[in-house]
Amino acid sequence: MTDLQAEPTGSAGRRTSTGAGRVLIAVYGIFALAATARASVQLPTRYDEAPLAYLLSAVAGLIYIVATITLARDTRASRRVALIAIIIELIGVVTVGTLSVVFPEAFPRATVWSLYGIGYGFVPLVLPILGLAWLWHTRPDAPSPESVAS
């Protein structure tokens, strides 16, 4: 937070953690909190009821935490990690969403990704798309001379 003047990605216009990126990171932070808190309540106390759903909540929480931190860190390396995390997130919400429609009996308890995130106003479905769009929008177009090796 103190290195706002630094330019880890080479150009001020390509930062993931400024402008609209701050809103994206805020939403990711809330979902990191929500999914992790949900899993940390459910996994130790009621694992047997729906192990798959509760493990998925934990995985979702982990992915949201990684995306929040890497988007906020905003370095070349963290962009790459953010991209991978957000792609996994998109695959996760689409897969779990579809499975929870086709095989509802496999998901007796809800996760953040059940029914494409209907319990959270479908934000879990929109979020990875916005995340990828933001990474694309802030991409480094041409390789610029790096003052700091990453």
Partner 1 sequence: MIDALAYAVVALAGVAVIWGIVTAIANKPPGKAQLLYAAGVEAVTLVQSIIAVAKIIGGFRPAELATTIGYLIGIVILIPIAWMWANVERNRFSGIVLSVAALAVLAMTLRLLMLWIPAG
Q: Tell me how far apart the alpha carbons of residues 48 and 27 are, in angstroms, rounded to a whole number.
A: 31
The single residue among 12, 20, 77, 133 that binds partner 1, judged by CB under 8 A, is 20
Dihedral of CA atoms 51, 54, 56, 60 in degrees, nearest 10, equals -160
Q: Residues 97, 80, 84, CA angle at the centre, nearest 5°?
A: 20
Determine if 43 is a binding residue for partner 1 (CB under 8 A).
no
How many positions of this chain bind partner 1 (CB under 8 A)?
Answer: 18
The single residue among 6, 12, 41, 106 that binds partner 1, judged by CB under 8 A, is 41
Q: Which amino acid is present at 60?
A: A
Q: Tell me how far apart the alpha carbons of residues 84 and 99 are, in angstroms, rounded to a whole number.
A: 22
- Count of CB atoms situated within 10 Å of the CB of 131: 25
DSSP conformation class of 50? -
Determine if 1 is a binding residue for partner 1 (CB under 8 A).
yes
Q: Measured from the CB of residue 50, what is the shortest distance to partner 1 in angstroms?
A: 14
Determine if 27 is a binding residue for partner 1 (CB under 8 A).
yes
The single residue among 33, 52, 81, 126 that binds partner 1, judged by CB under 8 A, is 33
Nearer to partner 1, 121 or 145 (CB): 121
Q: Tell me how far apart the alpha carbons of residues 85 and 42 are, in angstroms, rounded to a whole number.
A: 23
Structure tokens at 133: 């769009």
Determine if 22 is a binding residue for partner 1 (CB under 8 A).
yes
Q: Measured from the CB of residue 127, what is the shortest distance to partner 1 in angstroms?
A: 12
Binding stretches for partner 1 (CB under 8 A): 1, 4, 18-20, 22-23, 25-27, 29-30, 33-34, 37-38, 41, 45
